[in-house]
Chains A and B, each alone.
Chain A
């Protein structure tokens, strides 16, 4: 298989300058094939959202320093600017935001917001663009889509707003959809509907999806592949099945253990002790070592090696390296 990957991160580093420097992403290597759905998992501050924003070049240019390369469909997106960047955004890659209530313009109707995107990318007239908007709203199965066209965001429920947001993001048939915790702001019952809808539309449109979440249950539900981030780097990646059945990194194991199944009332939950590191310095050793029950001296002195376990399953931990070499 020598197909061009849809997305390819190569040693991506992102630093934010300011009163203090933050090393948000530290040498990320990740690739995604067309039509794959990747769940990007990690706790707050692990660099999930920064990764997505890098993909859309949405990071504030003055305050952020980027290194490494990001290729989408073989194009180095770091070199895009002006009109090429504008047609890349929303045309090739689009994004569903965490809070549809905030990500939609409050004083424009849903129809107008979808139509203006379509007009911009497809160069068609308002009437035709409105037809596309109506078609998209129907596809995301919003009740009475004709009426929704003329609705303002505040007139819709949270679930409907997120459906409208998805319709907007998919209106130009992107090859890659980025979903930044798209269900976090929604009720539990609505969450699962939106997840299933995304999964269905992904199959229907054959697009790649990067789905950011901190909920491992959600990631397992929808993704083909899972990538787990910690302190601005990947700790483990592989097919959902491999990662869940055979987690190698202590952090992944900790995340899997930290759920509510089989918990006895009154007992303490299995949480990972400690908190994520401050990212003021670039890591010179394993970032997880201070919280890791299995940490050894070499974990605190060197960066962990990346071990390929086969089948796309790789892990960045000395423990995995020693079991495979031994």
Chain B
């Protein structure tokens, strides 16, 4: 098991390097000169060139990449062009908020998704199955930023139950575990949870339905197992796949919540990313994408290792 873990860890290295190159290139290939955003319109060619060399933008791309990745390895992601603050600090604070939101959404989504999926798979082709499937498809299909706006209209504007913006009272950046802060978490977390509920429910439904139609289930009954014993076997069989779907969903929640974070003004990585894009803040953009991508790689690693730990069919040696 330990050897498997080490081997998987070694595989991560080339993936991480590849990811960093793609992050870097994407940002540089994208149209738009970062300097136009911060330079005055009437800046002279000399002033522009000076600024360009100050940020190292006049060097060839491979050199720029080498400098950037060398610094990144030591935790220095450069300074934001827009604010002048270190990118690492900004990204760290934002990722912390995003993680909070992603975990909150997962805590809502995974139990509900697992439960609905299991029951729908168990009662396949019944009215309950159809309701769950319908709900799951709707959840996956409805644009979640639109759903977020609708929830804001209902719960913030009409009912005034919950705040619609920010991560705490008075727009303070610091998170705290009290009701005043948790209130801010509810709407974005619920909105964000809808898609993973649908995806987890659909996957688990198909999974459980398939497992119940497998021969070994009949063989379990044939050897005198009770219904509850059979359910235990089915759950154990479904667990590895369900786990991997949930792990990947957590990764998506972290990186894929740009729109939700924008709708709710949640100071997370998605929010930071969209600001960085609009301000053409190159170092910030690069740094945020890199951290998110590496987190995704890391999530995949965790899922693989966890799956190998609970599924004997995955070769560990």
A95 interface neighbour in B219, B229, B311, Cβ under 8 Å: B219
Q: Would you call A168 an interface residue if the criterion is a C-beta within 8 Å of the partner chain's C-beta atoms?
A: yes
- Across the interface, which residues of B come within 8 angstroms of A103, CB to CB? 215-216, 218-219
B224 and A117 contact, CB distance less than 8 A: yes
**Max chain B C-beta neighbours (<10 A), residue from A91, A102, A121:** A102
B216 interface neighbour in A95, A102, A117, A172, Cβ under 8 Å: A102
Q: Would you call A86 an interface residue if the criterion is a C-beta within 8 Å of the partner chain's C-beta atoms?
A: yes
Q: How far is the CB of B243 from chain A (nearest CB, A)?
A: 13
| B interface residues, how many (CB within 8 angstroms) | 20
Contact flags A63-74 to B (C-beta < 8 A → 1, else 0): 000000000000
Q: How far is the CB of A157 from chain B (nearest CB, A)?
A: 16
Bound-state CA distance A117–B223 (Å) is: 7
**Max chain B C-beta neighbours (<10 A), residue from A91, A105, A109:** A105
Q: Would you call A107 an interface residue if the criterion is a C-beta within 8 Å of the partner chain's C-beta atoms?
A: yes
Interface range on chain A: under 10, 10 to 19, 20 to 34, or 35 or more?
A: 20 to 34
A58 interface neighbour in B216, B222, B226, B237, Cβ under 8 Å: B222
B222 and A107 contact, CB distance less than 8 A: no
Bound-state CA distance A136–B226 (Å) is: 23
Contact flags B215-251 to A (C-beta < 8 A → 1, else 0): 1101111111110010001001100100000000000
Q: Would you call A25 an interface residue if the criterion is a C-beta within 8 Å of the partner chain's C-beta atoms?
A: no
Q: Would you call A89 an interface residue if the criterion is a C-beta within 8 Å of the partner chain's C-beta atoms?
A: yes
B222 and A105 contact, CB distance less than 8 A: no
A107 and B224 contact, CB distance less than 8 A: no
Q: Would you call A108 an interface residue if the criterion is a C-beta within 8 Å of the partner chain's C-beta atoms?
A: yes
Q: Would you call A169 an interface residue if the criterion is a C-beta within 8 Å of the partner chain's C-beta atoms?
A: yes
Bound-state CA distance A289–B240 (Å) is: 54
- Across the interface, which residues of B come within 8 angstroms of A117, CB to CB? 223-225
Bound-state CA distance A120–B230 (Å) is: 13
Q: How far is the CB of A172 from chain B (nearest CB, A)?
A: 8
A105 and B237 contact, CB distance less than 8 A: yes
Bound-state CA distance A91–B224 (Å) is: 7
Chain A residues numbered 224-260 whose CB sits less than 8 Å from any CB in chain B? none
A86 and B236 contact, CB distance less than 8 A: no
A168 interface neighbour in B214, B223, B237, Cβ under 8 Å: B223
Instruction: Identify the B interface with A (CB < 8 A).
Output: 214-216, 218-226, 229, 233, 236-237, 240, 311-313
